[in-house]
Structure 1
Amino acid sequence: MTQRFSVAAITFDLDGTLLDTVPDLAAAAQDMAAELGIPPRREDEVRVFVGRGIPNLVERCLGERAQDAALLARAIEVFKRCYRVRNGERAVPYDGAHDTLVALQKAGFRLACVTNKAVDFTLPLLEQMDMRQYFGSVVGGDTLPQKKPDPAPLLHAVRELGVAPSAALHVGDSYNDIDCARNAGIPVLGVPWGYSEGRVLDAKDCDGLLSSLPDLLSRVALPTEH
């Protein structure tokens, strides 16, 4: 029997969970490579690099060249400038994302977005995708000194929502999310359509896998049912 969670709050990862953002990130990486005069990365390569924030993505794009600290620092700044132009250009919500967020909000759940993407990129993207209004808390990769999989961002989000960790559920596409939620003492559902740094999510490592975002609606008890 599928487990049904009785929670007051649901937190979501962004890239690979609610939105497919790889086309924008790959375009920015290619722009960066052109400016720096280094070989560009393919979109399928960049897809594997997503999940741990921009500095990590850029470092992985550079490969062995990242050992040059000055080049790495310059590349990060060039990437950020390129991504500001590309952010939201081709990103799209996954099927059912808006409908699911609307339904959860109307049902009385408190919602948060917890991502390793910097806030300066996250907030404009959420606005552009018409999603910002659903979230009572938005925690980016630079909101705190720690990023996922450290539990601090997730714990910060649930505090802002005014609930205990035991009353929250996290939804994400990677082991980064699973480890973060486990470290925070929060149950976690995985989504198999995301990036996950090239690893395939295994249901045994989390509290279940969603077949789609609308599938989440059948996995939680309405707040009025608690």
Structure 2
Amino acid sequence: MAKINTVIFDFDGTIMNTNDVVIKSWQHTFRTIEGKERPVESIIATFGEPLYVTMEKMFPEIPVEEAVEIYRSYLRENFNEMIEPFPGMVELVQKVKEMDYKTGLVTSRVGDTTRQGLEKFGLAPYIDCLVTCDDTDKHKPHPEPLNIALNKLCSRNSESIMLGDTMFDILCAKNAGVKSVLVGWQVAVSKDEIEGPNGPDYIIEKPEDLFEIISTKE
């Protein structure tokens, strides 16, 4: 592997534990539209997918903008109070930047709540480039969001690595020719997917395990 000089992070499920607010926003949406909640497993299966895409699948009978607004109204009201970084991730992002790696964040989340989360926990100064779903026409697993970040950072794909928690992240990296790292605290990727032909290049169980990977020289 070429010497890594660029580290790209996903947001939800990788840096930030947004599981609670996302699940509760979905259940609020289901209750409002259908009058009842759905199994949590059906929500987890959508983690990493752009919201509009999921909404069109979940509620084909109503305008997607209406469903999205129900979801986002609950999320906006509760986001800051219900999120927290995964243990060690704030320190990891800070240390990666302090070690002079270029850093990026590529997410299918909208920009406003992503920035809120970064600013709340003091991470914004440590991210050189932010690409959200507002910035792209195509979304993970398409490589466009990742390639936009790498172009802005003037980074080569072969010298970059991406951390994520879903197959959308892993496939985005693979489609861009970037090495992928699956975080061990993820809840959305099955053993079969991990061991399959499109599985991640690496898995880390603790944030600091990343340094064993990116310190590898060509």
TM-score (norm 2): 0.88
After superposition, residues 140-159 of structure 1 pair within 5 angstroms as 140-159=132-151
CA contact (8 A) 1:112 1:135 kept: yes
**Structure 2 CA distance for aligned equivalents of residues 43 and 115 of structure 1:** 22
Q: Which residue does 1:39 correspond to in 2?
A: 36
Task: Give the share of equivalent positions with the same residue, in percent.
Answer: 22
More divergent stretch after superposition (199-208 vs 16-25): 199-208
CA contact (8 A) 2:4 2:161 kept: yes
Deviation at 1:42, TM superposition (A): 5.0
Aligned pair count reads 215
Amino acid at match of 1:199: S
CA contact (8 A) 2:47 2:166 kept: no
Secondary structure of the corresponding residue to residue 203 of structure 2: coil
Instruction: Note closer, same or farther for the CA distance 1:5–1:40 as it changes in structure 2 (3 Å cut).
Output: farther
After superposition, residues 44-83 of structure 1 pair within 5 angstroms as 44-59=41-56, 62=58, 66-70=59-63, 72-83=64-75
**Structure 2 CA distance for aligned equivalents of residues 176 and 45 of structure 1:** 16
> What is the RMSD computed on CA atoms of the aligned residues?
2.2
1:138 aligns with 2:135: no
**Structure 1 CA distance for aligned equivalents of residues 31 and 169 of structure 2:** 32
Q: Which residue does 2:12 correspond to in 1?
A: 15
Deviation at 1:59, TM superposition (A): 4.5
Amino acid at match of 1:12: F
1:160 aligns with 2:152: yes
Matching residue within 11, 24, 27 for 1:27? 24
Deviation at 1:45, TM superposition (A): 4.0
CA contact (8 A) 1:58 1:79 kept: no
CA contact (8 A) 1:136 1:160 kept: no
**Structure 2 CA distance for aligned equivalents of residues 137 and 95 of structure 1:** 23
CA contact (8 A) 1:189 1:207 kept: yes
**Structure 1 CA distance for aligned equivalents of residues 71 and 200 of structure 2:** 33
More divergent stretch after superposition (85-94 vs 47-56): 47-56
Amino acid at match of 2:187: Y
Gap regions ≥5 residues in structure 1: none
Runs of 4+ residues over 6 Å off in structure 1: none
1:193 aligns with 2:179: no
Deviations 1:38-67 (A, max 9, x none): 21235454333221122234456x4xxx12
**Structure 2 CA distance for aligned equivalents of residues 171 and 37 of structure 1:** 35
Gap regions ≥5 residues in structure 2: none
Secondary structure of the corresponding residue to residue 11 of structure 1: strand
TM-score (norm 1): 0.85
**Structure 2 CA distance for aligned equivalents of residues 188 and 48 of structure 1:** 20
CA contact (8 A) 1:190 1:203 kept: no
